[in-house]
Structure 1
Amino acid sequence: MKQRAWMGVAGFVASIAVLGTYLMGPGAGSVAGQNTDRLFGVVEGTEVDLSFKMGGSIAELKVKEGDEVKAGQLVATLNNEELLAKREQAQAAYKLAVVRMEQAKKGVAVTDHSSSAQVDQALAAVNAAQAQYEANKNGARMEEVAQLKAKLEAALSAKEIAQTQLDRMKTLYQEGAVPQVKVEEAQMQYEKALAEYTAAEEQLKMAKTGARKEQLDAAQAQLQQATAAYKQAVAARGQVGLKQLDVKSAEAGVQQAKGALDEIDAYLNNTKLFSPVDGIVKSVAVQKGELVSQGFTVVTIQAKADLFVKFYVSEFAISHLKAGDKVSLYVPALNRNVEAQIASIAPAADFAVKKATQELGDRDIRSFQVKLNLSEGELRPGLTVEWPLEGAGDGE
């Protein structure tokens, strides 16, 4: 965006007008007997140069010179076939990354649950095998037989409860009320209870009849197998940590793929050129199909708002003015007066509007730039305006 100002032209015209007033002598430019300087200026406005943030060929021009545009209106587009193809690739990569992340999360959930259940089940089998081996090895007393009977009854009760829970979970699963993992969990609990019941039953039987050597050897082998299975289950549970790292890696992959997709979308958005202001198209510098570089001015828009005019006022008139004052300007092209408001007054003088002569006591008269904002809808940049300053004089 760039503000163009005809400051030099306005200053030159204003200088000639003011100098002409002084060269004509005292009283020149007076109105109704008052000492009045009639200053001349040119209406200026804000021009906006629109350009693309990236290079490419023009696909379509939506405006032409003289068209009125609104803020946010699309004015031109670039060809984007290559970017659309890249976006499809980026979107596919993003979807694949999401699928991999979901698979990794499910793997962790299943592995974590299964490994914990397997460890518990293996530990129960070890304890049962250990108890059976000890019973075969040492024999049993009457008190131990009574304890084994109570243990068998408790194991039977636990097995029946586990069986009931398993049947209930299967029914709920068939009805779609619970997931498959709940059935698997109930199945593991039942198998655990069944193993404990079988071990208790065998222990009681052996306690009553006594163990033979081959039975003792079998119990020892069963204990060794149960111990090995328990160690294997513990090792499997250690793999859960590695799978959790896989989940984090998959999540990072999703973020990376999403970033690539967002980048392509940003590039696609840069192939569209919108007007930032309400205004009139002053010029169109390209044609459809033409190749343009990044930052090249495609369309120039003359903003409707922000019209202003600059005058150079002598130091004797400046004391009567202040920012915010409303003044009346005459527009010859419209043959009427318009209202303006003083926007700013330069803090320092720019140049002399009247140079000193050789006469004793003569001095330069300096000027200050005064900017006036215009709100008249019919005004256009380039129109001449006049500002009569009553009482300005030349300081004499």
Structure 2
Amino acid sequence: MKTILSTTKSKVIVVLVLILIVWVGYTFWQAYQTKPERFQGQVEAQQYLISSKVAGRIDQVLVKKGDKVTSGQMIFTILSPEIEAKLEQAKAGQAAAGAMSAQAEKGARNQEIAAAKDQWNKAKAASNLMEKTFKRVDNLYQDGVVAEQKRDEAMTQWQAARYTERAAYQMYQMAQEGARVETKLAAKEKERMAAGAVAEVEAYAADTKISSWHDGEVSDILLHSGELAPQGFPVVTIVDMQDAWAIFHVREDSLKAFKQGVEFNVSIPALGTDVYRFKVSHVSVMGDFATWRTTDANQGFDMRTFEVDARPVKPIKDLRVGMSVLLESDAQ
């Protein structure tokens, strides 16, 4: 009986020793296995800064944080009396340029043409009179009654009258023909220039009512009603969660697993335990600051850090900017 108990006890001890040996061996084996590396990323999304190229005072902000906006929806308005005054000035300049162009096209008025014709007739009558006077004086000179000086004076007066007649005739013709082609073209171009000035100010005036160019969600409002908005300063920020991606910072010795186009599974703790598929879309080196990490102090070899962008293969519901994204190196 004692022999049987001793044998049983020996067997139990042997089994326990074998179990202990197996457990110790498995523990050592596990300790020397390569553990999967975990990478933590963060969700980012495309942001749009809604601003105006016109400086002024914010009149109304028509959205609130969290509002869904669509392309073409009014976001905010700016009050700018200066632009309204400039628009009035530009329109007045356009009207003046148009009137000058119309005047150049129509030419002289009928009264101006008639006055020019009367001046020509007057000069012609004076020229005829001076011609007759010269002929009389010339006859008297031929008879020896008057001196040659009188004859020369009469001839000079006749020639001057003829020049005056020609000048009056040219003025009459100019009045009939109207403005020169070059003058008309210059007036027309000035009118176009004035119209361009009006269009420019109208464009600025239209930019006092700012609409969104994109669909998205209002993430921030930087200025409110009554505050001054500098030119180009963002007033409202919109984020488009349909254009979202995850950013990972990967050391270059692990970069081989993140080639462009590679897909992998990730988990997003904020969304529960589901697994999501992401695809690498872009890889770029980060700046020199804080991206070097020593791997071997003796050899002096440092690793750089790269920024890896990965986009979800399918849209993810309830995804938000800033959520953590976890990736195990064996989750390919």
In which range does the TM-score fall when normalised by the shorter chain? 0.5 to 0.7
Q: Report if the CA contact (8 A) 1:50-1:300 is conserved.
A: yes
* Counterparts in 2 of 1:52 and 1:26: CA distance versus 1, 3 Å: farther
Cα distance in 1 for partners of 2:238, 2:225 equals 18
Distance apart, 1:239 and its partner CA: 5.0
Alignment-derived partner of residue 183 in structure 1: none
Letter in 2 for 1:272: K
Q: 2:211 aligns with which of 271, 274, 280?
A: 274
Alignment-derived partner of residue 68 in structure 2: 68
Aligned pair 1:51/2:51, yes or no? yes
Alignment-derived partner of residue 151 in structure 1: none
Alignment-derived partner of residue 94 in structure 2: 94
Q: Which moved more, 1:281-290 or 1:372-381?
A: 372-381
Structure 2 unmatched runs, 5+: 1-27, 122-163
TM-score normalised by structure 1 residue count: 0.53
Aligned pair 1:384/2:324, yes or no? yes
CA shift digits 1:3-26 (9 cap, x unpaired): xxxxxxxxxxxxxxxxxxxxxx99
Distance apart, 1:280 and its partner CA: 0.9
Distance apart, 1:307 and its partner CA: 1.6
Distance apart, 1:65 and its partner CA: 0.7
Alignment-derived partner of residue 309 in structure 2: 371
Alignment-derived partner of residue 285 in structure 1: 222
Cα distance in 2 for partners of 1:93, 1:367 equals 61
Name the SS of the counterpart of 1:289 in structure 2: coil
Aligned pair 1:351/2:292, yes or no? yes
Cα distance in 2 for partners of 1:45, 1:26 equals 43
Cα distance in 2 for partners of 1:252, 1:365 equals 65
Q: Report if the CA contact (8 A) 1:308-1:373 is conserved.
A: yes
Cα distance in 1 for partners of 2:274, 2:232 equals 42
TM-score normalised by structure 2 residue count: 0.61
Distance apart, 1:271 and its partner CA: 1.5
Cα distance in 2 for partners of 1:36, 1:269 equals 58
**1:320-359 paired onto structure 2 within 5 Å:** 320-334=257-271, 335-346=273-284, 350-352=291-293, 355-356=295-296
Cα distance in 2 for partners of 1:391, 1:61 equals 46
Cα distance in 1 for partners of 2:59, 2:226 equals 6
* Counterparts in 2 of 1:298 and 1:310: CA distance versus 1, 3 Å: same
Alignment-derived partner of residue 172 in structure 2: 236
Distance apart, 1:51 and its partner CA: 2.6
Q: Which moved more, 1:47-56 or 1:361-370?
A: 361-370
Distance apart, 1:89 and its partner CA: 4.0
Alignment-derived partner of residue 189 in structure 1: none
Letter in 2 for 1:102: A
Letter in 2 for 1:384: S
Q: Report if the CA contact (8 A) 2:265-2:331 is conserved.
A: no
* Counterparts in 2 of 1:345 and 1:57: CA distance versus 1, 3 Å: closer
**1:176-255 paired onto structure 2 within 5 Å:** 233-239=169-175, 243-244=179-180, 245-255=182-192
Cα RMSD after superposing both structures: 4.2
Name the SS of the counterpart of 2:83 in structure 1: helix
Cα distance in 2 for partners of 1:55, 1:241 equals 50
| Bigger strand share | 2
Letter in 2 for 1:297: P
**1:25-36 paired onto structure 2 within 5 Å:** 35-36=35-36
Cα distance in 2 for partners of 1:263, 1:339 equals 50
CA shift digits 1:290-317 (9 cap, x unpaired): 2232233311222224322222335454
* Counterparts in 2 of 1:86 and 1:346: CA distance versus 1, 3 Å: closer
Q: 1:298 aligns with which of 235, 243, 259?
A: 235
Distance apart, 1:78 and its partner CA: 0.6
Letter in 2 for 1:369: E
Distance apart, 1:79 and its partner CA: 1.0
Letter in 2 for 1:337: V
Letter in 1 for 2:196: G
Structure 1 unmatched runs, 5+: 1-24, 123-227
Name the SS of the counterpart of 1:299 in structure 2: strand
Q: Report if the CA contact (8 A) 2:108-2:175 is conserved.
A: no
Q: Report if the CA contact (8 A) 1:94-1:258 is conserved.
A: yes
Q: Report if the CA contact (8 A) 2:97-2:191 is conserved.
A: yes
Cα distance in 2 for partners of 1:235, 1:96 equals 27
Alignment-derived partner of residue 10 in structure 1: none
Distance apart, 1:274 and its partner CA: 2.6
Letter in 2 for 1:376: P
CA shift digits 1:186-244 (9 cap, x unpaired): xxxxxxxxxxxxxxxxxxxxxxxxxxxxxxxxxxxxxxxxxx98985455224567722
Letter in 1 for 2:281: A
Letter in 2 for 1:330: S
* Counterparts in 2 of 1:104 and 1:336: CA distance versus 1, 3 Å: same
CA shift digits 1:97-144 (9 cap, x unpaired): 323322321227999xx99xx9xxx9xxxxxxxxxxxxxxxxxxxxxx
Cα distance in 2 for partners of 1:391, 1:252 equals 70
Distance apart, 1:71 and its partner CA: 2.8
* % same residue: 28
